Structure 1
């Protein structure tokens, strides 16, 4: 198996995986904009928030069952099956059924999407060589998130008075099966089991564990409720689509420079800066109206990019402090922690929005950021920083693509 892997261990060899997931992301981006836009304008507007919670809960289920399913049928077969689940979810939405069916469909998508992430990251981690694995993973995250943005932009050009948007999702999902279905890459070994060990993760890095928990709620709330907020404010379909596209570029303009900074100074200081940016962007979002849409897009670019940064820096901070033998259970725990928070926080926002209004998700994000910043300040007095020469470069990671790579490194168990 190792000899076979070496034969294909070139940057070009992983192109099929990256292309497949990027094409799938375009379809996902269309649906992430389409579903909240349509449900907000329906007779059951509450269903838009419930659909966000359903996606996150489905993701939690997916990260638990993904490993056992891969062991049972293998990476390639399960990838085709999970893509089929995405198609089924899109068909249920295209059929114009009651709102509860849309919510069920989004839960099905969430489970399939997390299984796809585990498969893709597992394959990339196994096929890439040590010399360029970090760059490959960063490129994968960037391509996927920009694919989501392109899908949102495409939504702005699709009529909503029929089922063209779900049909576009079906088209892109089916297209995404082809590159990875035709790949000559060997199947990697089955991933390690998802084992949750909260006490161990807390011992290694309280700031890292709490940060990943925070980022799960932050990411799902910002990405899920922003299009609902825009649609509720009677923003045009085109502007909703453009807003969602611009938000994804925060990965480049906010996360990347802050990630580089975190490689040079105590990552906790960078997390404090990031929390400050989230609060500042939240205040701006409360007072900048959609009448000045360009300014609001810049605000949400910072908003989304800062949330992405919390995940990447907190995840790296936890790995900095872990021993090699703890990498697999730590990664499993962080993956489940992210998915759990991504389910609970949007549910709370959905329940509280009728009481506090359409700005509830912004209040929630600011509250989480302030609470996390206060906790970091306390931890700074309790523990010294990890020396910079003992850390790996952070690279680009997305809170929308939970990190499952460490679950699948059978040789070293080390994060890449």
Structure 2
């Protein structure tokens, strides 16, 4: 089945997967803005903050259970089930329950969405041929992130005094089931186990491992706390939505050029540039008020795009140094490391915000970037970089989409150099 799939599949044949996940991303973008906005407006800021690490923890659970569940029921059936869980989470929020249930619903969504990522990436990897797999994955990431931005933009046009927003999420999520449900692509083989080996990952690339850890915390903090920050600053709903949309475009305007640069020079120098951008954007965010909305949006575009860049470049830096036999356990370890940091760092921000105020998340991002940049400088003195002609291209990758392609089986292993 694998050989037939790779021989007959064309770029057009994967459209069903990309379309399904892009539609699902629109629903995610709506809910990612709606939940913090409404909870903060009603005075339940603690719940809005707690929903951020809960979402990430649910994602970690999804990473761990996704593979066994796919082996049990198959890709297509599990995709429908995980989309159903997204709908259940949205319906729960639509009933306007006590805030704690909003938090639990975000955890359910986090688990279901990561299972969806695993299924989609697995299918893409096995349907695409070697000649265009990289372009297919880059297009998938770009479409998904732009879908998130489109969802945030739509949120700005949906009244929040009722339950229309979560009902819109129910509608688009149900719609997202149809393209994959009707696809003629054969189911790929069962994914590999998630084999976590921290010592091996550290031996291969300390900069890569620490970078993925840093990006997990950075991404979840930026994406989760920016709408809370804007809402507590009494920013209008439409401006909150526009700010979230602009942040997603950082994938194109910041990550893409920096990723291309990292394909030509030592990736660690690019990571240093990225950390400097994060610190500069964070410092600017502390002093630029919401009365200068256009300037602030530019600041957060750089902020969000630089965070995305840390993930893609650090992940590529680790893969540059991995032997073919280490590729699957390395990627599994990076996947779990990302999800773990995405849970712990936002949890720390949630606990510290009452003491340090609404700028706590910005302080946290700046500190993480400084610490990681300092570590990269130290490592530059310890190890010579891999020549550019021996490395793979970075491509577009989002820190909001953990790299679950490791779970697609042996065909994704990197060929020997």
Q: Same fold (TM over 0.5)?
A: yes
Q: CA RMSD in A?
A: 1.0
**Displacement, 1:41?**
1.2
Aligned length: 416
Aligned to 1:52: 52
Aligned pairs (5 A) from 1:103-142: 103-142=103-142
Indicate if the aligned counterparts of 1:189 and 1:410 stay in contact, CA closer than 8 A: no
CA distance, structure 1, for counterparts of residue 66 and residue 267 of structure 2: 31
Instruction: Report the alpha carbon displacement of residue 7 of structure 1 after superposing the two structures with TM.
Output: 4.9
2:174 counterpart of 1:174: yes
**Whole-Å Cα distance in 2 between the matches of residues 148 and 253 of structure 1?**
16
Task: Summarize deviations over 1:71-118 as a string: whole Å, max 9, x none.
Answer: 000000000000000000000000000000000000000000100000
Tell whether the 8 Å contact from 1:406 to 1:414 is kept in structure 2 after alignment: no
Deviations 1:189-208 (A, max 9, x none): 11110111000000000000
Distance in 1 separating the partners of 2:3 and 2:383? 44
Task: Give CA-to-partner distance per residue, 1:121-179, whole Å, 9 cap, x none.
Answer: 00000000000000000000000000000000000000001000000000000000000
1:14-413 paired onto structure 2 within 5 Å: 14-411=14-411, 413=413
Q: CA deviation at 1:404?
A: 1.0
What CA distance in whole angstroms lies between the structure 1 residues aligned with 2:131 and 2:388? 20
Gaps of 5+ in 2: none
CA drift of 1:4 comes to: 2.7
CA distance in 2: counterparts of 1:344 and 1:111, whole angstroms: 16
Give the Cα–Cα distance (whole angstroms) in 2 for the partners of residues 407 and 166 of structure 1: 31
Q: The residue matched to 2:219 in structure 1 has which SS?
A: helix
Distance 2:139 2:170 in 1: 25
DSSP 3-state at the match of 1:235: coil
Rounded Cα–Cα distance in structure 1 between residues aligned with 2:16 and 2:8:
12
Separation in 1 of the partners of 2:250 and 2:44?
Answer: 32
> What is the rounded CA distance, in whole Å, between the counterparts of 1:8 and 1:118 in structure 2?
22
Aligned partners of 1:122 and 1:142: how far apart in 2? 17
Cα gap change, 1:404/1:412 in structure 2, threshold over 3 Å: closer, same or farther?
closer
CA distance in 2, matches of 1:8, 1:270: 39
Deviation at 1:9, TM superposition (A): 1.6
